[in-house]
Amino acid sequence: MSKENISLPITPNQAAWRMLVSFLATLLLSGILIFGSAGRLNWTLGWIFVTAWIVPKLVFLILLRWLDPDLLVERATRHKNTQRYDRIILPIYFVFAFGTFIVAGLDGGRFRWSDDVSIAWVIAAYIIYLLGNSLAGWAINSNAFFSAESRIQTDRGQKVASSGPYRFIRHPAYSAALILWITTGPMLESWWAIIPGFLAGLMMIVRTVYEDRMLIAELPGYAGYAQQVRYRLLPGIW
């Protein structure tokens, strides 16, 4: 089935607005958690972080609307065949993710438990964070079926993605998520926030296990691809 012949449930413009509202709502909640736990608004590093957090998402949205509106619609639509494990893993993931903001705000913005986070560490964390975003962008650009949900996209004629970073690891976007959440704490001068950040990343590892099993069992060609590309998240390790 060609993607051109598929009747889309919403238009690309509707999908873009839906994702924009979602991004802004998440940004508002994240800002409330970060600055609320910090107990102040005059936290420069907090403002730098929320800017660095939202800008890549807005760029992603603009590029997706321009380059691949079908994928934009896919990511903005909720589907009935989303895997059951996703409905369990993702809520836990968001608890840890938002918990990272709270701990970072309490630590870096208020109580300064991690008083030894130097500016060099903060800069290094931002560089790694940008590299993680670049890896995620590369993965999205290399996979026309980069859904926000774990499901087999039979309605879109899903095929195995094997170019770009998929030549080296099977789930590069989850590798990027690990990078982003582990570096969030140091970006806000908090070592303690690495703990919930790691737990958020751990949920993506769990999701990788289940999604990989689903793809091997249900997506034609993926089992052969998995034999060629052995590693799921970390080249040479796992």
Grouping H, G, I as helix, E, B as strand and the rest as coil, residue 23 is helix
Quick one: pLDDT at residue 2? 38
R_g over Cα of the chain: 19
The CA–CA distances, whole Å, from 130 to 26, 53, 59, 107, 227 equal 20, 10, 13, 23, 31
Residue 155 binned pLDDT confidence (cut-offs 50, 70, 90): confident
Question: Could you give the count of Cα atoms lying within 13 Å of 195 in the half-sphere of its Cβ?
Answer: 8
Q: Is the pLDDT of residue 1 over 70?
A: no
Q: Which of 66, 67, 57 is nearest to 22 (CA)?
A: 57
Mean pLDDT for the stretch of residues 207-213? 95
∠ Cα 219 221 225 (to 5°): 110
Per-residue pLDDT tens digits for 11-25: 999 999 999 999 999
Mean pLDDT for the stretch of residues 223-232? 95
Per-residue pLDDT tens digits for 118-148: 999 999 999 999 999 999 999 988 999 998 8
Q: Which of 154, 151, 156 is nearest to 82 (CA)?
A: 151
Task: With beta carbons less than 8 A apart as the criterion, state whether 181 and 198 touch.
Answer: yes
Mean pLDDT for the stretch of residues 86-90? 93
Provide, rounded to the nearest whole percent, the portion of the chain with pLDDT above 90.
81
Place of tokens 């907090």: 46
The CA–CA distances, whole Å, from 177 to 80, 154, 189, 207 equal 25, 26, 19, 12
pTM (predicted TM-score): 0.89
Q: Which of 148, 33, 45, 146 is nearest to 97 (CA)?
A: 33
Quick one: pLDDT at residue 126? 96
Quick one: pLDDT at residue 81? 87
The two tokens of residue 190 are 């908090």
Q: Is the pLDDT of residue 3 over 60?
A: no
Quick one: pLDDT at residue 79? 84
∠ Cα 214 220 226 (to 5°): 65
